[in-house]
Amino acid sequence: MAIIGIDLGTTNSACGVLTEDGVKLIPNRLGEALTPSVVGLDDTGKLVVGKTAKERLINHSDTTVAAFKRLMGTDHQVKLGRQQFTATELSALVLRSLKEDAEAFLGEEVSEAVISVPAYFNDNQRQATKLAGELAGLKVERLINEPTAAAIAYGLHDKREGNFLVLDLGGGTFDVSILEFFDGIMEVHASAGDNYLGGEDFVEAMIDSVLEELQLKKSSLKPRELQNLYMQLETTKRRISQQAEQLLKLNLGGRALEWKATPEWFEKLSTPLLLRAKRPIERTMRDADLPPAKIDEVVLVGGSTRLALFRSMVGRMFGRLPSCHLDPDTVVAMGAAIQAGLKEKNSALDDIVLTDVCPYTLGTGIVNEDSPQLGNYFLPIIERNTVVPVSIVRSVCTARDDQEEVCIDVYQGENRLVKKNVYLGELTVPVPKKPRGEEVVEVRYSYDMNGLLEVDVTVVSTGKTFNKLVEFTPGALNEQDKAQALEKLAKLKFHPREDEENRALLARGERLYEASLGEQRDYIAKLLASFDRVLDKQNLVEIGKARAELTEIFDKLDGEDWI
């Protein structure tokens, strides 16, 4: 039974499957690779999905909805006729349509999929995506970040090694990732993005500009007029770089109007959006500590990267033309299909290993004694762009005399104040009464590649451990999926200092220290102290590199006559 890869996009969705002959994009019932992410009701009240629904956006805007991916992870309800739907339910309808198309194409039942998500999706949005898959009848054990999927498609398509900067500008989200492909390993170094920046925003800016010039307000327009304006300007956006000007004939507020759209006009209103796009690019470069010269290829993904202004901006930033020889609309689906083949143990992918990173910092709140009126401070536990899966522990102590319990609240974000970050959940544990600061609890966060976070809190004085799986959207995973994920996380729950290789290396260092004297002894002591500091950071990638370097030094010392 094949596992399919799905790109669940804001504007369009697509799916594929890995065969012995490579990735095959699965055509929908209309024979097209792209299925519009649009859901509506027909005249009889039945649900329609895809191109049929998209064609009804203008004349039936009250019973048709698009761009609902931006609402994933929220409780927002969308009204279609007399019915109410969440973004998760609407996404499930699109996924179900893709599932049916895949079954028709493959001639067999499809019950499992790998689904792509924006790299900058938070935990709530990821869980909502998994739930959408479940509602569509798909088992979703693996989510893959869209830029990672695109890089896999490019790296395996060309069989080239190097550093890839992936810029994924779709209809509603913008993702940036730096990945390295080497020796069959696809490793993510850093990710950033903007969940509210995409092609839709360029069209919105055009709409606002036109209505401002014509002295009209959105609220004064009929839904059909506004939708028609949107469709016309969407077409204008795609043609703007190829024509000196376009004359639009509009019907707004009951009046027939004309509007001239020029490249200069579009560039002016696009400038603020392009500046927004530059920020996550620069942040990712800083986080990865890579200068532009170290980037081997800049890869464009997403239909909105076809904008000439965007490509020009990227070209100026990196001094070269970006790569876009794979279809930006389908490259994520191709990468998701490859990842699905990897999960299915496809023979062509035996040597491929994929690593990913946590896109947001995960932490807890601690008492703010400096300015209590501002609220608690944010204590980072797993910092953004840490390679996952990962398990890290931090210690906190009681803040009051005779405190009877400690509440470990879980937040996601980058602000120093917890109230400005995303709340995910909490775990309250009892502690013995003692003077302030004497009772210590160890807080461990374990995070996997699907964005599943488990929190363990151990009261040091009693040795009791309390556990919670942070799942902000109940029901997103069935019990079997949870058990499997928890089993994987359980393997991570050790301090790297306790790893057998690290213990052996530390013991070897102690032996060398005891056998040496003078400057050599001081040198070895400094090496061991440096390795201790790396172990305390609990970053498995850094530990691996430090262990390899220290092993090489010890090998040389072991071969010297003074031992």
Given a contact cutoff of 8 angstroms between Cβ atoms, the answer to whether 364 and 406 are in contact is: no
Judge if the upstream peptide bond of residue 118 is cis by omega within 30 degrees of 0: no
Q: How far apart are CA 341 and CA 41, in angstroms?
A: 35
Q: Among 7, 141, 287, 471, which one carries the catalytic annotation?
A: 7
Secondary element (H or E) of residue 409: strand 405-412
Q: How far apart are CA 290 and CA 319, in angstroms?
A: 15
User: Which residue(s) pair with 386 in the sheet?
Assistant: 358
Given a contact cutoff of 8 angstroms between Cβ atoms, the answer to whether 353 and 186 are in contact is: yes
Q: Is the dihedral of CA 358, 364, 368, 372 positive or negative?
A: positive
- Residue 319 neighbours by CB distance under 10 Å: 8
Q: HSE-up of 532 (CA within 13 Å, CB side)?
A: 10
Is 69 an annotated catalytic residue? yes
User: Which residue(s) pair with 65 in the sheet?
Assistant: 39
Per the document, the length of the chain is 563
Query: Helices 223-239 and 199-213 sit at what angle, rounded to 10 degrees?
Result: 110
Question: The tokens of 534 are what?
Answer: 């790396």
Q: HSE-up of 26 (CA within 13 Å, CB side)?
A: 31
Give the torsion through C-alpha atoms of 428, 431, 436, 442, to 10 deg.
-70
Q: Among 54, 69, 99, 237, which one carries the catalytic annotation?
A: 69
Given a contact cutoff of 8 angstroms between Cβ atoms, the answer to whether 7 and 153 are in contact is: no
Question: The tokens of 387 are what?
Answer: 């390679």
- Residue 276 neighbours by CB distance under 10 Å: 14
CA distances from 254 to 3, 10, 225, 453 (A): 52, 31, 9, 54
Coil, strand or helix: which one is 127?
helix
How are the residues of the chain apportioned to helix, strand and coil, as percentages rounded to the nearest 5? 40, 30, 30
User: Which residue(s) pair with 250 in the sheet?
Assistant: 257
Given a contact cutoff of 8 angstroms between Cβ atoms, the answer to whether 380 and 363 are in contact is: yes
Q: Among 89, 134, 146, 456, which one carries the catalytic annotation?
A: 146
Alpha helices in 289-330 (DSSP H): 308-318
**Residue 130, phi then psi, degrees to nearest 5:** -65, -40
Question: The tokens of 399 are what?
Answer: 């803040």
Q: Is 130 exposed, middle or buried (0-12, 13-18, 19+ CB in 10 A)?
A: buried
Can you say whether residue 22 is alpha, beta or left, with left for phi > 0 and alpha for psi between -120 and 50 degrees? left
Q: Among 141, 168, 329, 456, which one carries the catalytic annotation?
A: 168
Q: Which residues are annotated as catalytic?
A: 7, 69, 146, 168
